[in-house]
């Protein structure tokens, strides 16, 4: 990196990446839980992809039954802790809260959920037991949220489950891919332990298709659950993309999750290209790592931004500069270093989603930056799934029966980002649970 | 501005708000500060042979995040020497001649002891006496307090003893720990009391520590039954005040869960002439009197009542026997769709807890997919429906509804004449003829 901002003290970095929504104190939790009306047939539960019985777990907080509260949450969603932290609750349970209807603040369901599960994790409660072995074995490929949920559910039903994952640490994007001020890798690993406690076997650092053949898994297991997620960040296809100081968004976020903050070399001036939630994670991380100037560059207008409103507001608070209607043309560099980004202004032609982006002729300009982060979303990971006979793909994503999550090849089930193209943790969990039920239906009665 | 000044059996105070006998009236310092805050009077913490108190003494019960919905104590009467109390009473009375100072008394049930105590107390210059025949804990085990107030004969007799020497008005404080409080009220009246005050605290055991199994409030792992008070007891007090108001002619000082001006106004409407407050002050301090006075004043003005006499007893005649209630009066629930937030608490309450007269609006697989929540969508799909021909008009849905004004009970004109149970019985008897023998209950009446 050519230009680095001054390094901060370790304490200062910790402060910058401190939990943006800290754990409730007992007092706060009680007051907030007491506000809950305990709705019947509650809209919050209906709005949750994993159908957590929200009124029930909140009621239990008010009675001091935190163990029971955690049991309600985790039986519906084994990743209840991280979902409490990272779910876009504003558009899910909290958005559905009836309090919105009377103009009151919705119940902070996410934070209450995290409070209850943290209590259970702190006390190492064994809330669930593995089922009596039923003699069937299932392999899960990938160890992200979908796999963890599927594995836990199957283990409870008595399956022998083994997870194969290429990363050194389990948890997938939950461990490697979420902004550090929302959750740390260690938080994710605490939840993984819940799954380990059910007897699920983890093979980390083992890439299926390379270190172990699919054929071998097919031979050893009654069913295989594919939750391989997505692949690399989409390329910009621009000159200069190969320079050293050009990073993929996930690569950059992963850096903040596994490296000590003071060891991360951030550019003094950083350009992040894209305007999704991951782009927001990147600009906020860059600012918190003490980058002086951080640009978010998006070729469409502000209204078209895919990021959630509160994510955008977070980036605003962090002092990020938003360049709307700006299309990068070329990354300028010298040697391996990035020097700047040549851009051109665009304009929207037409209205709404159908609007086209047109380049404004003669509006080229250059900004000086030291680092570029590509946040254009991830490509489908096709290498492994393409090799499976009978498995159908649509736009690179695995096609499944929406109820059972069974693929075109009856031995294979799939869920998570590789199926839905990249959604929330809670969606991956819901799909993993559905797949577990699908597998149980297909395999469970076999002798 | 309505006139709040009060004359309770000759005891005058600038307003009807008196501090009840208890911890807030333990010392001259407290009582004088209370008068500075605006309290009209104070009933001094019960004076008698000094006792020894325990630690702890108080217990509380919360509801959600609301603290002290109910409160109890095992504290006894004053633990200070009689002469200290009387000296301070004299000092307060000298400095605050316009405020009422009533002294609560409790001594052994012996005529000479009461005579001596009354004389000594009145020498302090106090405005009246309140005989504590109500304390349910501790003192009752020694034959005082509620031990007296539970026996009409004792109540009448000791009241007579006091009247033999008293020069100031005598108020008898009644215990609610009895099946019919009006019998004691009548006994006090018969004994010559100038007024009664009620209710004293209710026998209670606050809670149990589930780790140590010590009841609360705990004294080295043990506890004893204590006196229950605070907002939770108000309905019990209102009932007893209204019952006494119907039975006796002497004025009533209302006590029990008063913390706000509407509480106070309700007591007055049921016959109270002055109002005593303790728990609310223990919770929030003397300053609450400001809103008590202010709110009551504005209320009287809004009703066009020049003073409390216009409000006093206004609700008593509406406290009827159940048998006189109109069985043909029909009301049904009415949900205002634009206020409904879709919590379905009314539905589940009616379905499981009452009379199955509300139906849920059928709702699809996912509220999210259908955008079926919040006012933002202008969506009213979650508004439950009252099955009007089934609704019995019980109030439950309106009581559980968290939105003010969303569920109200509307009157339905049926065209049927007013018909009470007693009317029906009279009617039936007439039809059956004269020969029918009355039931055991009817004979007893």
Interface of A with B (CB under 8 A): 30-31, 34-35, 37-43, 46-47, 62, 92, 95-103
What is the tens place of the pLDDT at every residue in A155-177? 999 999 999 999 999 999 999 99
Task: State mean pLDDT over B143-151.
Answer: 89
Pair (B171, B287) in one structural domain: yes
Q: Is the peptide bond before B110 cis (omega within 30 degrees of 0)?
A: no
Burial of B445 (0-12, 13-18, 19+ CB in 10 A): exposed
Measured in angstroms, the CA of A119 and the nearest CA of chain B are apart by 19
Domain boundary among B292, B318, B344: B318
Based on the fold, state whether residues B138 and B23 are members of the same structural domain: yes
Beta carbons of B373 and A95 less than 8 Å apart: yes
Q: Do A46 and B368 touch (CB under 8 A)?
A: yes
Q: Which of A39, A52, A56, A60 to mutate to test the interface with B (most CBs of B within 10 A)?
A: A39
Residues B265 and B330 placed together within one structural domain of the fold? no
Q: What is the CATH number of the domain that holds B156?
A: 3.20.20.70
Residue B8: the pLDDT is: 98
- Looking at the partner chain, which of B345, B367, B403 has a beta carbon nearest the beta carbon of A46? B367
> Does pLDDT of B138 surpass 60?
yes
Average pLDDT over residues B50-68: 93
SS3 string, chain B, reads CCECCEEECCEEECCCEEECCCHHHCCHHHHHHHHHHCCCEEEEEEECCCCCCCCCCEEEEEECCEEEEEEEECCCCCCCCHHHHHHHHHHHHHHCCCCEEEEEECCCCCHHHHHHHHHHHHCCCCCEEEEECCCCCCHHHHCCCHHHHCCHHHHHHHHHHHHHHCCCCEEEECCCCCCCHHHHHHHHHHCCCCEEEECCCEEECCEECCCCCCEECCECCECCCEEEECHHHHHHHHHHHHHHHHHCCCCEEEECCCCCHHHHHHHHHCCEEEEEECHHHHHHCHHHHHHHHHHHHHHHHHHCCCEHHHCCCCCHHHCCCHHHCECCCEEEEEECCCCCCCCCHHHHHHHHHCCCCEECCCCCCCHHHHCCCCHHHCCCCCCCEECCCCCCCCCHHHHHCCCCCCEEEEEECCCCCCCEHHHHHHHHHHHHCCCCCCCHHHHHC
The CATH number of whichever domain residue B356 belongs to comes to 3.30.70.20
pLDDT of residue A156: 98
B311 and B330 housed in the same domain = no
Average pLDDT, chain A: 96
Confidence of residue B18 (pLDDT cuts 50, 70, 90): very high
pLDDT score for B435? 59
pLDDT band per the 50, 70, 90 thresholds, residue B434: low
Question: Which residues make Cβ contacts (< 8 Å) with residue A313, sequence separation at least 6?
Answer: none
Region A332-355 average pLDDT: 91
The reply to whether residue B373 touches residue A98, judged by beta carbons under 8 angstroms, is: yes
| Burial classification of residue A260, based on how many CB atoms lie within 10 Å of its CB (0-12 exposed, 13-18 middle, 19 or more buried) | exposed
Assess whether B80 and B190 both reside in one domain: yes
In a domain, B428, yes or no: no
Closest CB to A39: pick one of B64, B343, B368: B343
Regarding whether B375 and B242 lie in a shared domain, the answer is: no
Distance to chain A for B235, nearest Cα, Å:
24
What pLDDT is attached to residue B440? 78
Residue B436 pLDDT grade (very low, low, confident, very high; cuts 50, 70, 90): low
Average pLDDT, integer, range A436-440 = 98
* Residue B432 falls inside a structural domain: no
Looking at the DSSP bridge assignments, the partners of residue A202 are A163
Q: What is the pLDDT of residue A1?
A: 79
Whether B443 is covered by a domain: the verdict is: no
Residue B444 lies in a domain: no
395-434 in B: which are within 8 Å (CB) of A?
A: 402-403
Q: What is the pTM of this model?
A: 0.90
Asked whether the beta carbons of residue B366 and residue A46 sit closer than 8 angstroms, the reply is yes
Shortest distance, CA B202 to any CA of chain A (angstroms): 26
Last residue of a domain, one of B286, B318, B350: B318
* Residue in B64, B342, B403 closest to A43 by CB: B342
The tens digit of pLDDT for each residue in A286-328 reads 999 999 999 999 999 999 999 999 999 999 999 999 999 999 9
Instruction: For residue B343, list chain A residues with Cβ-Cβ distance below 8 A.
Output: 37, 39-40, 42, 98
Q: What is the pLDDT of residue B380?
A: 57
Mean pLDDT of B79-90: 97
Angstrom distance (rounded) from CA A436 to CA A241: 41
CB contact under 8 A, A40 and B343: yes
Nearest chain B residue to A43 by CA: give it.
Answer: B367
Provide the mean pLDDT of chain B.
93
Nearest residue of A to residue B343, measured between CA atoms: A39
Return the bridge partners of A247, or none.
A373
Q: How far apart are CA A73 and CA A110, in angstroms?
A: 11
What is the pLDDT averaged over residues B44-57? 95
Give contacts of B341 with chain A, Cβ < 8 Å: 98-102
The answer on B225 and B83 residing in a single domain is yes
3-state SS of chain A is CCCCCCCCCHHHHHHHCCCCCCCCCHHHHHHHHHHCCCCCCCHHHHHCCCCCCHHHHHHHHHCCCHHHHHHHHHHHCCCHHHHHHHCCHHHCHHHHCHHHHHCCCCCCHHHHHHHHHHHHHHCCCCCCCCCCCCCCEEEEECCCHHHHHHHHHHHHCCCEEEEEECCCCCCCHHHHCCCCCCCCHHHHHHHHHHHHCCCCEEEECCCECCCECHHHHHHHCCEEEECCCEEEECCCCCCCCCCCCEEEHHHHHHHHHHCCHHHCCCCCEEEEECCCHHHHHHHHHHHHCCCCEEEEECCCCHHHCCCCHHHHHHHHHCCCEEECCEEEEEEEEECCEEEEEEEEEEEEECCHHHCEEEECCCCCEEEECCEEEECCCEEECCHHHHCCCCCCEECCEECCCCCCCECCCCCEEECCHHHHCCCCHHHHHHHHHHHHHHHHHHHCCCC
For residue B372, list chain A residues with Cβ-Cβ distance below 8 A.
43
Q: B348 and B218: one domain?
A: no
Residue B330 pairs in a beta bridge with B412
pLDDT over 50 at B377, yes or no = no
> Cβ–Cβ of A98/B343 closer than 8 Å?
yes
Q: pLDDT above 70 covers what percent of chain B? A: 94
Residue A266 · residue A8 · CB < 8 Å? no
Q: How high is the pLDDT of residue A439?
A: 98
Chain A residue numbers with beta carbons less than 8 Å from the beta carbon of B340 are: 101
Structural domain including B193 reads 6-318
Task: Write down the pLDDT at residue B378.
Answer: 39
| Residue A377 token pair | 């979303």
In the block, tokens 């550090």 appear at A180
Task: For residue A40, give the nearest of B64, B345, B372 by CB distance.
Answer: B345
B329 in the same domain as B309:
no
Q: Which residues contact B269 (CB under 8 A, 6 or more apart)?
A: B311, B312, B313, B314, B315, B316
| Number of domains chain B contains | 2
Question: Could you give all domains of chain A from N- to C-terminal order, each with its CATH number?
Answer: 22-122 (1.10.1060.10), 137-229+381-443 (3.50.50.60), 233-378 (3.50.50.60)
What local confidence, expressed as pLDDT, does residue B366 receive? 39
Q: How confident is residue A102, by pLDDT bands cut at 50, 70 and 90?
A: confident
Query: Once rounded to an integer, what is the mean pLDDT over residues B11-21?
Result: 98
Query: Are B185 and B198 contained in the same domain?
Result: yes
| Residue A34 to residue B64, Cβ atoms within 8 A | yes
Question: Which of A34, A37, A46 lies at the smallest CB-CB distance from B343?
Answer: A37
CB contact under 8 A, A47 and B366: yes
A158: nearest Cα among A361, A440, A390, A411: A440
Asked if pLDDT for residue A332 goes beyond 70, the answer is yes
A37/B345 touch (CB, cutoff 8 Å), yes or no: yes
Query: Are the beta carbons of B65 and A30 separated by less than 8 Å?
Result: yes
Q: Token pair of A161, please?
A: 């489950």
Per the model's pLDDT, the better-predicted residue between B379 and B290 turns out to be: B290
Q: Which of A79, A97, A99 is nearest to A87 (CA)?
A: A79
Paired strand residues for B253: B197, B274
Give the nearest partner residue to A102 out of B345, B366, B403, using CB atoms. Answer: B403
Q: Is B135 a catalytic residue?
A: yes
Place of tokens 């107030």: B149
Q: How far is CA A159 from CA A149, A212, A436, A446, in A?
A: 13, 21, 10, 12
The answer to whether residue B430 is domain-embedded is no
pLDDT score of A447: 59
Has residue B245 been placed in a domain?
yes
Clarify whether residues B133 and B204 are in a common domain.
yes
Closest-CA distance of chain B to residue A435, Å: 19
Nearest CA-CA distance, residue A1 and chain B, Å: 46
Tokens of B365: 């697989």
Compute CA distances A62 → A39, A284, B216, B325, B403, whole Å: 15, 35, 20, 40, 21
B340–chain A Cβ distance below 8 A for any pair: yes
Which of A39, A43, A103 is closest, CB to CB, to B345?
Answer: A39
Q: Indicate the residue of A31, A39, A97 with minimum beta-carbon distance to B344.
A: A39
Q: Among B267, B284, B318, give the residue marking a domain's end.
A: B318
Contact call for B367 and A96, based on CB within 8 A: yes
Contact B375 A100 (CB under 8 A): yes
Strand duo A365-368 + A356-359: pairing: unpaired
**Chain B contact set for A38 (CB, 8 A):** 345
Contact A41 B360 (CB under 8 A): yes
Rounded (10°) angle between helices A185-196 and A145-156? 20
> Using a CB-CB distance cutoff of 8 angstroms, which residues of chain A are in contact with residue B401?
none
Residue of B nearest to A47 (CA): B368
Q: What crossing angle do the helices spanning B28-37 and B82-95 adopt, rounded to 10°?
A: 30
The answer as to whether B435 is a domain residue is no
Is B336 at the interface with chain A, CB within 8 A? no
Q: What angle do CA B163, B166, B168 make, to 5 degrees?
A: 115
Question: pLDDT band at residue B135, thresholds of 50, 70 and 90?
Answer: confident
pLDDT in tens, A16-67: 999 999 999 999 999 999 999 999 999 999 999 999 999 999 999 999 999 9
Residues B352, B303 share a domain: no
Chain A hits for B374, CB-CB cut-off 8 Å, are 95-98, 100-101
The overall longest dimension of chain A from CA atoms, in Å, is 72
Is the pLDDT reported for residue A76 higher than 60? yes
Distance from C-alpha of B122 to C-alpha of B168, rounded to nearest angstrom:
7
Q: Does B374 touch chain A (CB under 8 A)?
A: yes
In a domain, B355, yes or no: yes
């Amino acid at each position: 990196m050519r230009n680095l901002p001054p390094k901060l003290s370790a304490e200062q970095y910790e402060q910058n990446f401190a939990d943006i929504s800290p754990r409730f104190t007992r007092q706060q939790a009680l007051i907030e839980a007491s506000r809950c009306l305990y709705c019947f047939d509650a809209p919050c539960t209906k709005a949750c992809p994993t159908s957590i019985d929200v009124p029930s777990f909140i009621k239990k907080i008010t009675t001091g039954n935190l163990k029971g509260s955690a049991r309600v949450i985790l039986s519906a969603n084994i990743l209840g802790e991280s979902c409490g932290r990272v779910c876009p609750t504003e558009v899910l349970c909290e958005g559905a809260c009836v309090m919105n209807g009377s103009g009151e603040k919705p119940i902070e369901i996410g934070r209450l959920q995290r409070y209850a599960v943290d209590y259970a994790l702190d006390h190492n409660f064994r809330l669930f037991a593995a089922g009596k072995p039923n003699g069937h074995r299932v392999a899960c490929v990938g160890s992200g949220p979908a796999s963890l949920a599927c594995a836990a559910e199957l283990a409870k039903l008595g399956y022998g489950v083994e997870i194969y994952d290429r990363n050194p640490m389990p948890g997938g994007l939950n461990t490697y891919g979420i902004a550090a001020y929302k959750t740390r890798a260690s938080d994710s690993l605490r939840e993984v332990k819940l799954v380990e406690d059910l007897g699920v076997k983890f093979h980390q650092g083992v890439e299926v298709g390379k270190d172990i053949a699919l054929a071998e898994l097919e031979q050893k297991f009654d069913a295989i659950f594919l939750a391989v997620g997505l692949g690399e960040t989409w390329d910009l296809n621009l000159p200069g993309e190969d320079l050293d100081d050009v990073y993929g968004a996930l690569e950059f976020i992963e850096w903040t999750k596994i490296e000590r903050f003071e060891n991360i070399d951030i550019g003094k001036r950083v350009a992040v290209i894209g305007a999704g939630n991951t782009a927001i994670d990147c600009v906020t991380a860059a600012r918190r790592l003490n980058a002086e100037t951080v640009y978010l560059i998006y070729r469409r207008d502000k209204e078209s931004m895919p990021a959630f409103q509160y994510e955008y507001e977070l980036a605003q608070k962090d002092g990020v500069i938003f360049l709307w209607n700006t299309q990068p043309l070329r990354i300028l560099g010298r040697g391996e270093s990035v020097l700047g980004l040549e851009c051109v202004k665009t304009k929207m032609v037409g209205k709404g989603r159908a609007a086209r982006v047109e380049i404004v002729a003669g509006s080229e300009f250059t900004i000086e930056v030291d680092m570029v982060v590509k946040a254009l979303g991830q490509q489908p990971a096709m290498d492994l799934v393409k090799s499976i006979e009978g498995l159908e793909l649509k736009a690179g994503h695995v096609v499944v029966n929406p109820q059972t999550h069974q693929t075109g090849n009856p031995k294979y089930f799939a869920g998570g980002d590789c199926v839905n193209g990249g959604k929330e943790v809670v969606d991956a969990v819901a799909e993993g649970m559905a797949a577990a039920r699908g597998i149980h239906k297909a395999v469970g009665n076999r002798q | 501005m309505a006139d709040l000044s009060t004359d309770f059996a000759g005891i005058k105070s600038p307003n009807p708000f008196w501090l009840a006998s208890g911890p807030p009236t333990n010392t001259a310092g407290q009582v004088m500060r209370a008068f500075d805050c605006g309290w009209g009077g104070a009933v001094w913490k019960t004076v008698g042979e000094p006792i020894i108190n325990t630690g702890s003494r108080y217990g509380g019960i919360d509801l959600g995040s609301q603290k002290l919905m109910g409160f109890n104590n095992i504290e006894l009467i004053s633990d200070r020497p009689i002469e200290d109390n009387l000296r301070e009473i004299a000092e307060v009375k000298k400095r605050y001649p316009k405020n009422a100072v009533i002294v609560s008394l409790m001594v052994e049930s012996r005529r000479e002891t009461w005579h001596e105590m009354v004389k000594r107390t009145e020498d302090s210059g106090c405005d009246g006496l309140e005989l504590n025949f109500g304390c349910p804990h501790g003192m009752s085990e020694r034959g005082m307090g509620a031990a007296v107030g539970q026996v009409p004969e004792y109540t009448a007799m000791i009241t007579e003893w006091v009247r033999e020497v008293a020069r100031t008005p005598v108020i008898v404080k009644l215990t609610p720990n009895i099946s019919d409080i009006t019998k004691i009220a009548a006994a006090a009246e018969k004994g010559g009391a100038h007024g009664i005050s009620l209710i004293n605290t209710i026998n209670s055991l606050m809670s149990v520590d589930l780790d140590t199994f010590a009841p609360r409030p705990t004294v080295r792992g043990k506890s004893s039954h204590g006196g229950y008070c605070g907002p939770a007891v108000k309905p019990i007090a209102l009932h007893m005040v209204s019952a006494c108001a119907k039975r006796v002619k002497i004025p009533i000082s209302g006590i029990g869960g008063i913390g706000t001006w509407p509480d106070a106004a309700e007591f007055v409407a049921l016959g109270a002439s002055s109002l005593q407050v303790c728990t609310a002050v223990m919770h929030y301090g003397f300053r609450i009197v400001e809103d008590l006075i202010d709110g009551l004043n504005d209320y009287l003005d809004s009703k066009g009542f020049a003073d409390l006499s216009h409000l006093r007893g206004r609700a008593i005649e509406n406290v009827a026997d159940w048998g006189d209630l109109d069985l043909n009066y029909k009301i049904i629930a009415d949900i205002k769709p634009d206020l409904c937030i879709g919590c379905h608490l009314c539905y589940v309450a009616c379905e499981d807890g009452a009379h199955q007269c509300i139906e849920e609006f059928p709702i699809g697989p996912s509220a999210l997919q259908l955008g079926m929540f919040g006012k933002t969508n202008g969506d009213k799909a979650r508004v439950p429906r009252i099955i009007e021909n089934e609704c019995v008009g019980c109030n439950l849905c309106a009581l559980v509804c968290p939105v003010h004004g969303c569920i109200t009970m509307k009157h339905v004109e049926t065209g049927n004449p007013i018909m009470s149970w007693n009317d029906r019985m009279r009617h039936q008897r007439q039809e059956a003829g004269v020969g029918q023998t009355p039931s055991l209950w009817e004979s007893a009446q």
